[in-house]
Amino acid sequence: MLPRGALLGNWRQWEASQMARFILKRLLISIPIMIGITIIIFVLLNVVPGDPVALMMKEHISVDVVARVRAQMHLDDPAFIRYFRFLFGALRGDLGESYKLQRPVAALILGAFPTTFVLALWAALFAWIVGIPAGILSAVKKYSLPDNLFMGFSLMGVSMPIFWSALLFQWCFAVKLGWLPVAGFSSWKYVIMPAVVLGWSSAGTIARLTRSSLLEVMRNDYIRTARAKGLRELPVIFKHALKNSLLPVVTVMAIQVAGLLSGAILTESVFGIPGVGRIAVNAIQARDMPLLQGTVLFETLLVVLGNLTADILYAFLDPRIKVN
Amino acid sequence: MKSWMTRCRIHARKGWASILVSLAAVALGACSMLATAAEKVLTIAYNEEPKTSDMQMNTSDYMIPFNVYDRLIECVTTGPAKSALVPGLATKWEISKDGKVYTLHLRKGAKFHNGEEVTAQDVVYTFDRMLDPATKALNTDALDFIAGAQDRMAGKAQTTAGLKALDKYTVQITLENAFVPFLAILAAPQCSIMSEKFTRPLGNKYGLTADTTCGSGPFIMKEWTLNDHHTLVANPNYWRGRPQIDKLVIRIITDSETMRMLFESGEIDIFDCDFAISQIPYFTSSPKWGKQVLSGPRAGIYYYTFNQKIKPFDDVRVRKAFQMAVDRKLILDKLYYGQGQLENGIAPTGLIHYNPNQTKIPYDPDQAKKLLAQAGYPNGVDMEIALVSSTGSQWQKMSEVIQQMVQKSGFRVTLKQMDEAAFYATRKEGKLPMYTNVWSADYNDPDNFFYTFFGPKGTVARSYNNIDQANFDLLEKGRAETNFAKRAKLYNDLEKKIVIDQAAWLPMFSAKHLYVVQPRVKKFVIPWNGWSDLPFYEARVD
């Protein structure tokens, strides 16, 4: 008979290998998803009429020049050849060159990503720091004035369009009060407003979810038992109830971060932030196929990784949930 | 000191660890971007990323060439809607009697930003590069009339036959045919001169960053963060003398509301009302900003087109009826706040050979209805106006007003929203229904308007389809006519024929260009052609 420690070690080893298999499986599944998305984008852009060279020339259009440059850019090649050229390039890490910006797509995305990353992280931090305590307080003091205030705040965050809240913040804190710069991304001062605007919506969702989840957990028998044993309210909430109630919240948080990282198009446009969202706007406006394919592929990858992270966190947070 | 953003980008290449560094930089980076108090910085906003500083690859964003590059000849603003061609990198020039050979003498001692002297070989290289098919240049139209250009563009020749460096400071350019607007074209931003030694090794990587940009102009490109800003610094060795401002910062702001707030909070020095026409009443009526509004006429014209291959505009009577059905003054007064003047021709105010006495297009909805009935549409007719869905609401508003306005004459208008790529692709096929746009002069010559819109290729590519060989012959004649008075008459007569007799387009008005400038900005000159792209060499800031 094996000693207890050895049994436990084998069990953990088995669990780790199961986790590794789970992650690998999820990553492999994501490959056809990403290929499928590139096909959809490619087909859509080829079905709708439009010519990127004509668009580049706009008012100075010349039929001769358009024809010559199209041939030089291989835009007259059959669609499937262009698609497979893109796909094989992508497999080698080469996402092609942007028609409009005339730079390698991978370099454009990676160049803009640190900016988006910084913005997304500060927005997420704001959402978590504000959303979770607000949710807890609302649940603990349900139907009280603070509860109504926090839920009103979160409802505004969820329902107010970002472009509108962004303009209000700019007008109030930059133009009228002069505390913060209107737009740009040159120092820490420039991060505050866009991070709050972007994080507000996420904070609202997190606060409402935390509140409802915590209220549901607080009704469980084990919470009643803990109280009956004479535990004070704070340990009951933070030690027993909160951990279980955060499970759905963590899932949403992970997906939110993936969404934020894939480029906050409106926030970046209104605040003039040179992130991935602006690159995506450039691509859509210019019918820039390589750039659009590249940004979509990148964003899909982030969403897939965000979901995967949520699943893994689930397994870590709740021992009852196993990867198999 | 490198800016925070530049550092952020460098770190990014080094991977995830560096992202944390850049994050820390945000938290601690209050000390970055410090500018010395004495530095005279002019900050402006531009609504689109220029993408490249290679002017052979850019057909619309001219802020960089006007400030970073020079041309052989410069077109300077001498007054409201007035301009003159003055020596630039060329100090003088001679034109052969047949009008085909141009000999230009270069300024000695003018230097590129890399320290190399500007020579005749650089000029030959620049123009040949534009025509070289390997460049994939978008602006070949500016030079494709040089002798041998067609062969060069087709890859049949390794050089352009009509370009020669006679010696270090003398360039000879031979044209296929006499072409009067050539000097004016040489002053266009597309003809900015590049350094061969700097540009050739970079190939198609030229002009994508500050490090790969080199002109000979008053400002040196120092920093370029894509979709964020460009920083240009004064060129201390500029041949006209160092600019008065130390730094020109061009911020890329796509949102017009944000741009206005940046201006009001003092973060930018000049607000270009072309980026937000709806803000005009706010600024003109504001006690704070009213006196800071500057306006000037523009050599540009707003217009509606008629596609003669699409019914009902294949009939001249219908085209005339539509011209009469539109109350252009009302639109100018209400949508453009009266800031401009009606136009009745093709050449707008400020352009050479502009004819202020052109026959006027009347507003007469009843007569329009009669004409429509005569054309076989007594019960009215259906028609479409194409609009680009992503462009400003001003175009939409104007077309909606016209939609209502022409209804009483019998035109039932459908506004057709189109994606911009589809709009231009359909237009170049000659299949776009009526649309509206504005055209401002690239160079001061009627050829820039007449030939562009009514030349044999342009009339199809712009969906007019006004196919008239007599017009084409006159346009060719106008290009070669050296007698000023004869040339003026030719264009004035042709204008009357195209606009009044053939009713081939509907000229609307030339709207003034309005800017609001901070009080600290001095010597701000509104360009003669009304562009948003302008040189800042003369500008001062307190």
CATH of the domain at A217: 1.10.3720.10
Per DSSP (E only), the strands in B204-323 are 219-225, 229-234, 247-252, 270-272, 293-296, 300-305
Residues A72 and A150 in one domain: no
Sign of the Cα pseudo-torsion (A248, A249, A252, A253, in order): negative
Q: What angle do CA A7, A11, A15 make, to 5 degrees?
A: 170
Helices (H), B83-222: 120-131, 149-153, 182-186, 196-199
CA of B12: which chain A residue's CA is closest?
A114
Question: Which residues have C-beta within 8 Å of that of residue B60, sequence separation ≥ 6?
Answer: A58, A59, A60
Alpha carbon B491 to its chain centroid, in Å, reads 22
pLDDT of residue B22: 47
Tokens found for residue B476: 């060719």
Q: CATH 3.10.105.10 spans which residues of chain B?
A: 300-511
Select from B186, B185, B181, B184 the least CA-distant residue to B475.
B181
Taking an 8 Å cut-off on Cβ atoms, the answer to whether A182 and B262 are in contact is yes
Under CATH, to which class is B55-205 assigned?
alpha beta
Residues A219 and A83 in one domain: no
CA of A184: which chain B residue's CA is closest?
B228
pLDDT of residue A181: 93
Interface of A with B in 131-170 (CB under 8 A): 167, 170
Domain boundary among A43, A59, A91: A91
CB-closest option in A52, A54, A175 to B265: A175
Q: Is residue A167 part of a domain?
A: yes
User: Rounded to an integer, what distance in angstroms lies between the CA atom of residue B102 and that of residue B127?
Assistant: 14
ipTM of the predicted structure? 0.77
Select from B459, B447, B453 the least CA-distant residue to B179.
B447
Mode of pairing for the β-strands spanning B82-87 and B73-79 = antiparallel
> Which residues of chain B lie closer than 8 angstroms to A287, CB-CB?
419-421
CA of A100: which chain B residue's CA is closest?
B51
- Residues, chain B, total? 542
Q: Is residue A310 part of a domain?
A: yes
Helices (H), chain A: 4-47, 52-57, 63-72, 79-91, 105-140, 145-159, 162-169, 188-218, 221-228, 233-235, 242-261, 265-270, 276-285, 289-317
> Which residues of chain A lie closer than 8 angstroms to B30, CB-CB?
187-189
pLDDT of residue B220: 98
Residues A171 and A295 in one domain: yes
pTM: 0.83
CB contact at 8 A, B527 and B81: no
Residues A80 and A157 in one domain: no
Residue by residue, DSSP assigns B289-356 as: TGGGEEEE--SEEEEEE--TTSTTTTSHHHHHHHHHH--HHHHHHHHSTT-EEE--SSSPTTSTT--T
Residue B140 to residues A170, A286, B150, B396, Cα–Cα distance (Å): 44, 21, 10, 32
> Which residues of chain B lie closer than 8 angstroms to A175, CB-CB?
261, 264-265
> Which residues of chain B lie closer than 8 angstroms to A278, CB-CB?
227, 254
> Which residues of chain A lie closer than 8 angstroms to B9, CB-CB?
111, 114
Residues A86 and A122 in one domain: no
Q: Is B480 on the interface with A (CB under 8 A)?
A: no
Residue by residue, DSSP assigns B18-33 as: HHHHHHHHHHHGGGSS
Domain residues for A217?
A: 108-317
pLDDT of residue B325: 97
User: Rounded to an integer, what distance in angstroms lies between the CA atom of residue B143 and that of residue B350?
Assistant: 24
Residues A113 and A80 in one domain: no
Q: With 80 as the cut, is the pLDDT of residue A132 above it? A: yes
CB-closest option in A60, A114, A185 to B11: A114
Taking an 8 Å cut-off on Cβ atoms, the answer to whether A272 and B3 are in contact is no
Taking an 8 Å cut-off on Cβ atoms, the answer to whether B133 and A66 are in contact is no
Residues A86 and A136 in one domain: no
Taking an 8 Å cut-off on Cβ atoms, the answer to whether B420 and A285 are in contact is yes
CB contact at 8 A, B457 and A62: yes
Q: Is residue A99 part of a domain?
A: no
pLDDT of residue A24: 83
Interface of B with A in 261-300 (CB under 8 A): 261-262, 264-265, 267
Interface of B with A in 237-256 (CB under 8 A): 251-255
Residue A213 to residues A206, A314, B80, Cα–Cα distance (Å): 10, 15, 68
Q: Is A72 on the interface with B (CB under 8 A)?
A: yes
B207: how many CB neighbours lie within 10 A of its CB?
27
Interface of B with A in 311-340 (CB under 8 A): none
Q: Is residue A98 part of a domain?
A: no
H or E segment to which residue B170 belongs = strand B170-174
Tokens 């000879």, located at residue: B172
> Which residues of chain A lie closer than 8 angstroms to B11, CB-CB?
114
Edge-to-edge strand ranges of the sheet holding B434-440: B411-418, B381-388, B434-440, B300-305, B505-507
Residues A221 and A276 in one domain: yes
- Which site among B13, B26, B459 would you substitute to test the A interface, given the most A Cβ atoms closer than 10 Å to its Cβ? B26
CA of B50: which chain A residue's CA is closest?
A101
Classify burial at B401, counting beta carbons within 10 Å of its beta carbon; exposed 0-12, middle 13-18, buried 19 or more: middle
Residues A176 and A242 in one domain: yes
Q: Is residue A324 part of a domain?
A: no
pLDDT of residue B6: 42
pLDDT of residue B392: 65
Question: What mean pLDDT comes out for the span A41-52?
Answer: 79
Taking an 8 Å cut-off on Cβ atoms, the answer to whether B9 and A274 are in contact is no
Taking an 8 Å cut-off on Cβ atoms, the answer to whether B5 and A181 are in contact is no
Residues A41 and A183 in one domain: no
User: Rounded to an integer, what distance in angstroms lies between the CA atom of residue A75 and that of residue A80?
Assistant: 11
CA of A279: which chain B residue's CA is closest?
B227
> Which residues of chain A lie closer than 8 angstroms to B208, CB-CB?
102-103
Taking an 8 Å cut-off on Cβ atoms, the answer to whether B26 and A188 are in contact is yes
Q: Is B184 on the interface with A (CB under 8 A)?
A: no
User: Rounded to an integer, what distance in angstroms lies between the CA atom of residue B170 and that of residue B164?
Assistant: 9
Q: Chain-wide mean pLDDT for chain A?
A: 85
CB-closest option in B12, B267, B442 to A113: B12
Taking an 8 Å cut-off on Cβ atoms, the answer to whether B227 and A182 are in contact is no
CB contact at 8 A, B325 and B361: no
Question: What mean pLDDT comes out for the span A221-247?
Answer: 86
Mode of pairing for the β-strands spanning B41-46 and B247-252 = parallel
Q: End-to-end CA distance of chain B: give it in Å, rounded.
A: 24
> CA of A311 to nearest chain B CA: how many angstroms apart?
23
> Which residues of chain B lie closer than 8 angstroms to A57, CB-CB?
59, 138, 424
Q: Is B388 on the interface with A (CB under 8 A)?
A: no
Question: Which residues have C-beta within 8 Å of that of residue B489, sequence separation ≥ 6?
Answer: none
CA of A120: which chain B residue's CA is closest?
B23
Q: Which CATH number among 3.40.50.150, 3.10.105.10, 1.10.10.10, 3.40.50.170 corresponds to the domain B300-511?
A: 3.10.105.10
Q: With 70 as the cut, is the pLDDT of residue A273 above it? A: yes
> Which residues of chain B lie closer than 8 angstroms to A67, CB-CB?
none
Q: Is residue A96 part of a domain?
A: no
Taking an 8 Å cut-off on Cβ atoms, the answer to whether A269 and B133 are in contact is no
Q: With 90 as the cut, is the pLDDT of residue A280 above it? A: no
> Which residues of chain B lie closer than 8 angstroms to A126, CB-CB?
none
Q: Is residue A173 part of a domain?
A: yes
Select from A290, A324, A318 the least CA-distant residue to A52.
A290
A5: how many CB neighbours lie within 10 A of its CB?
8
Number of structural domains in chain A = 2
Phi-psi region of A93 (alpha: psi -120 to 50; beta: other; left: phi over 0): left
Q: Is A47 on the interface with B (CB under 8 A)?
A: no
Tokens 């549409």, located at residue: B377
User: Rounded to an integer, what distance in angstroms lies between the CA atom of residue B59 and that of residue A58?
Assistant: 8
Q: With 60 as the cut, is the pLDDT of residue A144 above it? A: yes
Q: Is residue A101 part of a domain?
A: no
Residues A213 and A69 in one domain: no
pLDDT of residue A298: 87
List per-block mean pLDDT (blocks of 10 residues) for chain B, which spans 542 residues: 41 45 46 58 91 89 94 92 93 95 97 97 98 91 94 94 97 96 94 97 93 97 94 96 96 90 93 87 91 91 95 96 97 91 93 92 96 95 90 84 96 91 89 93 93 92 93 95 94 96 95 93 89 91 90
pLDDT of residue B51: 85
Question: What mean pLDDT comes out for the span A235-255?
Answer: 84
Tokens 């141009």, located at residue: B102
Residues A120 and A83 in one domain: no
